[in-house]
């Protein structure tokens, strides 16, 4: 579904380019209208398995209803196709927002993502309104604005992933925690958290680049679901986020205590598998690069 979504958006943008720069009326074609109606359903089917527990099947008979807009596209006049497609897309965005908002206790962890989603929703509604009033943006002007809106949506996605590179993992774990029945009914959570602290601070499990949720659960004598729920409900963070924080904390100490060590060696020694992963996690948690952090704190230490 992700590939279908990208293919549909690519087809739309190619049609926009052909119309804007070569006067080819591709946006009036049937293929364009069908691609237009394919965007929202494919996005829904792509994101559903992440946001709706129990939906592990990639496609089922009941999902044919989401193909209906694409099949109905040939029956619609061109003047109604665009605004109707945008309103259908806005409806799917409302579904997405409702699923994210339903995370309740985890909602505060995704406030930036919800804000970006809201901006995308407003863009979709604005484009739909403009499509209903062609006199406002006649001819190529509307096409230029719509193509720019698609580009803006891609930009918002890139910004979101830059801010939260592990967003997919974190959302998946939060959803499982929010909608699944508790797995901690017979678990001494305080003792489990104490055991986790020993494993991280004393045994430094985080230095293993291959550390995974199942392997940590084995060391804690719990299931992976129990460890995931423990981290989400008691610490308010996903496994991926928790491990990154442990590694960044260790890296901060090394950066200050071992000024001659290279930034790359520091990142690798605390468990990051690549320099890019180290930089992304450090910037996400500390708001600066490892080199900037070291320079600032060594300078402060030199003044005291």
Indicate the residue among 167, 200, 226 that finishes a domain. 167
Asked whether the predicted pLDDT for residue 178 surpasses 70, the reply is no
| pLDDT tens digit sequence for 11-64 | 999 999 999 999 998 888 889 889 988 988 888 888 776 666 544 455 666 777
One domain, residues 155 and 179: no
pTM for this predicted structure: 0.53
Higher-pLDDT residue of 201, 137: 201
Q: Average pLDDT, whole number, for the chain?
A: 81
Higher-pLDDT residue of 292, 43: 292
One domain, residues 161 and 32: yes
Residue span of the structural domain in which 75 resides: 2-167
| pLDDT tens digit sequence for 203-255 | 999 999 999 999 999 999 999 888 988 998 888 888 999 999 999 999 999 99
Higher-pLDDT residue of 119, 33: 33
Report d(CA 192, CA 282) in Å as an integer: 27
Q: How confident is the model at residue 303 (pLDDT cuts 50, 70, 90)?
A: very low
One domain, residues 222 and 280: yes
Indicate the residue among 127, 145, 167 that finishes a domain. 167
């Amino acid at each position: 579904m992700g590939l279908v979504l990208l293919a549909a958006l690519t087809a739309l943008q190619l049609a926009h380019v052909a119309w804007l720069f070569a006067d080819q009326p591709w946006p009036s074609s049937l293929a364009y209208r069908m691609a237009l109606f394919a965007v929202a359903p494919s996005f829904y089917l792509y994101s559903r398995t992440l946001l709706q527990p129990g939906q592990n099947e990639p496609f089922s008979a009941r999902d044919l209803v989401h193909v209906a807009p694409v099949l109905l596209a040939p029956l619609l006049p061109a003047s109604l196709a665009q605004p109707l497609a945008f309103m259908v897309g806005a409806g799917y965005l409302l579904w997405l927002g409702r699923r994210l908002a339903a995370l309740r206790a985890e909602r505060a962890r995704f406030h930036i993502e919800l804000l970006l989603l809201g901006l995308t929703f407003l863009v979709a509604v604005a484009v739909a309104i403009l499509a209903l009033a062609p006199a406002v943006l006649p001819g190529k002007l509307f096409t230029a604005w719509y193509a720019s809106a698609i580009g803006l949506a891609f930009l918002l996605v890139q910004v979101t992933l830059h801010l939260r590179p592990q967003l997919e993992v974190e959302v998946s774990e939060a959803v499982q925690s929010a909608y699944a029945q508790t797995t901690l009914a017979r678990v001494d959570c305080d003792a489990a958290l104490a055991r986790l602290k020993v494993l991280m601070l004393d045994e430094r499990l985080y230095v293993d680049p291959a550390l995974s949720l199942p392997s940590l659960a084995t060391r804690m004598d719990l299931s992976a679901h129990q460890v995931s729920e423990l981290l989400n409900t008691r610490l308010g963070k996903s496994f991926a986020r928790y491990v990154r924080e442990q590694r960044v904390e260790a890296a901060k100490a090394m950066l200050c205590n071992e000024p001659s060590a290279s930034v790359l060696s520091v990142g690798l020694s605390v468990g990051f598998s690549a320099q890019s992963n180290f930089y992304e996690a450090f910037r996400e948690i500390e708001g600066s690069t490892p080199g900037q952090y070291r320079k600032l704190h060594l300078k402060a230490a030199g003044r005291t």
